[in-house]
Amino acid sequence: MKTSWTDRITLFAMIIIAAYGINEVLGYLILGSLEASVTMLIIETAFVLIAVAAWRGRLPWLNIVIAGFSFVLGNTTNYAETTHYNWGFWVQMGVAAVSAICGTVLMLRKKEKHKAVPARELILCALICACALAVWGGWTMKDKKATGIARHTMWAVPTELDSVPCENAGTLEELIYETKAYGTDSRTLNKRALVYLPYGYDESEKYNILYLMHGTGDDENYWLSTHETNKTMLDNMIARGDIEPLIIVTPTFYVEDDLKDTGLDPLTYSFREELRNDLMPAVESKYSTWAETTDAEGFAASRDHRAFAGLSRGAVTTYHSAFCGSLDWFSWFGTFSGSRTDREYFQQTIQSEEFRELPIHYLYVSSGVFDFALPRQLQDTDGLLSIEPRLTTGVNTDFDVFPMRYHSIGNWHLALYNFLQRIF
């Protein structure tokens, strides 16, 4: 039988889709993420089965399904400013869309008929998708009903923690402090942070303290006010005894409108000066922490009771301003969906004469399977562990990759839940 142009187009599309699918799976295997590799294998197997069905059955319009899902995955796993690791999804989207449109137009113009429906491929694809969705739904429901405990593979926070208001809830207070625009012209200005105080806060007691940073486009309200489920979870975890009462400070790396048009990266470094010179003295002179004095000596002596964490650009700020810039004042760190810090910078900073003898109590790294930050996080973390003898996986550092999560609050909600149970 003579091969039609529709058959040639769908065959070409099938080959390209399969080739880039293999590339996506192998890419994450090389980076060392089993969770992402398995997820991509399931998705790409479904894509190939649909593409084979489109070719064998002369059903080019089926490829529009691949184009649609590739468009979504291309948007979640790539970010124009920093990450293009999963550009294969864009190729698959383009090839699938073109083959669907051109193939369908050719069939109509030449009055070609469909072949026998490729039931085997379509049924197998449906079974794979159904099983994947069943696992997703089943594990999510199981985790929602689980007793609160940190887990490396998490699908959801227990409902009893983040959906049921706590009778003994902590309070949020506004703190206004004076600082400078360290990243630009050093002008003096006032900034705002929120401070979480646990239920029953007692000035005669000493509390561990966590500085928790938001990401690009958000502000100091993000963690505990904008997303109140985080505060509800925190209240319940303290009330149940899952974690010890602690103080949490949510500042912002933004300094009015500085650098918004030229790039915010300098703020991830300059926040170190604001943190050390202004924010920490303002917070820890007002609230009861382990710092006996709010000078360099007092903060250094109490570093074992102080943590810094952040999401996205806040995670980058965690590395640049706290982990690499203030290791003498902090010893617990969390970086959720962000890194952008290479091995050379780690060597220059945390292995400097000033910091190289200081213990690192814990570094927590997390991301989602579909998070565009994941590839760079895997690369940077591997680089860090290759040169840093103070960090041992499973002992004082972990890298959690959450199933079915992308660069969003659902991802960071899980990260905060796990992180809180692993510090102090």
Within 8 A by CB and 6+ apart from 387, the residues are 343, 346, 347, 351
User: Which pLDDT does position 81 carry in this prediction?
Assistant: 75
* 153, part of any domain: no
Long-range contacts, stretch 50-54, CB < 8 angstroms, 24+ apart: 50/121, 50/122, 50/125, 51/10, 51/13, 51/14, 51/17, 51/18, 51/96, 52/14, 52/118, 52/121, 53/118, 53/121, 53/122, 53/125, 54/10, 54/13, 54/14, 54/99, 54/100, 54/103
* 272, part of any domain: yes
CA pair distance 35, 41, nearest whole angstrom:
10
* 239, part of any domain: yes
Asked if 228 and 285 sit in the same domain, the reply is yes
Residue 289 has pLDDT above 90, yes or no: yes
Asked if 116 and 53 sit in the same domain, the reply is yes
Considering its fold, how many domains does the chain have in total? 2
The mean pLDDT value for 60-88 works out to 92
Asked if 173 and 252 sit in the same domain, the reply is yes
User: Cβ(36)–Cβ(28) under 8 Å?
Assistant: yes
Q: What is the pLDDT of residues 222-255, one digit of tens each?
A: 999 999 999 999 999 999 999 999 999 999 999 9
* 190, part of any domain: yes
User: Which pLDDT does position 259 carry in this prediction?
Assistant: 96
Beta carbons within 10 angstroms of residue 132's beta carbon: 15
Q: Which two tokens stand for residue 165?
A: 């208001």
* 164, part of any domain: yes
User: Which residues constitute the domain of residue 138?
Assistant: 5-144
The mean pLDDT value for 387-391 works out to 97
Asked if 132 and 163 sit in the same domain, the reply is no
Asked if 331 and 370 sit in the same domain, the reply is yes
Asked if 77 and 220 sit in the same domain, the reply is no
Sign (positive or negative) of CA dihedral 315, 319, 323, 329: negative
Asked if 241 and 361 sit in the same domain, the reply is yes
Asked if 131 and 178 sit in the same domain, the reply is no
Asked if 124 and 170 sit in the same domain, the reply is no
What rounded mean pLDDT belongs to the chain?
96
Assign 3-class secondary structure to the chain.
CCCCHHHHHHHHHHHHHHHHHHHHHHHHHHHCCHHHHHHHHHHHHHHHHHHHHHHHCCCHHHHHHHHHHHHHHHHHHCECCCECCCCHHHHHHHHHHHHHHHHHHHHHHHCCCCCCCCHHHHHHHHHHHHHHHHHHHHHHHHHHCCCCCCCCCCCCCCHHHHCCCCCCCCEEEEEEEEEECCCCCCCEEEEEEEEEECCCCCCCCCEEEEEEECCCCCCCCHHHHHCHHHHHHHHHHHHHCCCCCEEEEECCCCCCCCCCCCCCHHHHHHHHHHHHHHHHHHHHHHCCECCCCCCHHHHHHCHHHEEEEEECHHHHHHHHHHHCCCCCCCCEEEEECCCCCCHHHHHHHCCCCCCCCCCCCEEEEEEECCCCCHHHHHHHHHHHHHHCCCCCECCCEEEEEECCCCCCHHHHHHHHHHHHCCCC
User: Which pLDDT does position 148 carry in this prediction?
Assistant: 72
User: Which pLDDT does position 2 carry in this prediction?
Assistant: 62
The mean pLDDT value for 9-28 works out to 96
CA pair distance 109, 104, nearest whole angstrom:
9
Which of these three, 144, 173, 195, is where a domain ends?
144
User: Which pLDDT does position 302 carry in this prediction?
Assistant: 98
Q: Give, rounded to a whole angstrom, the gap between the first and last alpha carbons of the chain.
A: 72
Q: What is the pLDDT of residues 357-372, one digit of tens each?
A: 999 999 999 999 999 9
Asked if 166 and 132 sit in the same domain, the reply is no
The mean pLDDT value for 78-85 works out to 81
Which of these three, 144, 175, 191, is where a domain ends?
144
* 86, part of any domain: yes
CA pair distance 202, 265, nearest whole angstrom:
38
Which of these three, 117, 144, 171, is where a domain ends?
144
* 149, part of any domain: no
Asked if 138 and 168 sit in the same domain, the reply is no
Question: What is the CATH number for 188?
Answer: 3.40.50.1820
Residue 21 has pLDDT above 80, yes or no: yes
Asked if 66 and 126 sit in the same domain, the reply is yes
The mean pLDDT value for 117-131 works out to 96
The mean pLDDT value for 256-265 works out to 93
* 152, part of any domain: no
User: Which pLDDT does position 82 carry in this prediction?
Assistant: 73
pTM: 0.95
